[in-house]
Amino acid sequence: MSKKNLFEGMELTDGMSLVLFERMKQLLTVSIEEDKSRNGSFQLIQASQVLSKLKMTISDEFEIPFGWNEDAWVKLCRKAYKERVIVAAALLIAEIDRVALMEAKGEKWDPTKKEESKKQES
C-alpha cells in the first residue's frame, strides 16, 4: 500500500500540527546542516528528554545541552508542560533530520560515541 493511499483523507491532529509548526519555526533559525554540526553529541535528544518531564525542577535548568544558549534554555524549561512537549517532539524530529542528513552524505558514525571522540580520531 502506498503512503498516498494510506494517508489519503486523513487530517492532521492538533498535536501533529503544533509539532510541525514548531519544527518549521526551528528551521527558520537553524538549518539541518547547522543542527548536524552543532548537535553531534546528542544535545537534541538530551534536550527533548529534559523538556518532556512532567514536572521540571530548578536542577533541570542547569542541564544545559552543550553549546546551547543558557538564557534560551532556561526560557524553554520554564514553559508550560504542553509547550515543552511540543518543543521536545520537534527536537526529536530535528535529530531524525540530522541523522538522515549524515546518512544521505554517506557519513559513517557510531551513535554510541560522542562527536568529540570522533573528531579526535580524524
Range of the domain at 81: 15-114
Q: What is the mean pLDDT of the segment spanning 100-108? A: 87
Q: Is residue 9 part of a domain?
A: no
pLDDT at position 117 is 38
pLDDT at position 23 is 94
Q: Is residue 10 part of a domain?
A: no
Domain count, the chain: 1
pLDDT at position 85 is 97
Other CB atoms closer than 10 Å to residue 85's CB: what's the count?
19
Burial class (CB in 10 A: 0-12, 13-18, 19+), 88: buried
How far apart are the C-alpha atoms of 86 and 88, rounded to whole Å?
A: 5
pLDDT in tens, 10-59: 788 899 999 999 999 999 998 888 888 888 888 999 999 999 999 988 88
Q: Is residue 3 part of a domain?
A: no
Q: Is residue 101 part of a domain?
A: yes
Instruction: Report the SS3 class of residue 5.
Output: helix
Burial class (CB in 10 A: 0-12, 13-18, 19+), 39: buried
Q: Is residue 2 part of a domain?
A: no
Q: How sure is the predictor about 121, in pLDDT bands with cuts at 50, 70 and 90?
A: very low
Q: Is residue 1 part of a domain?
A: no
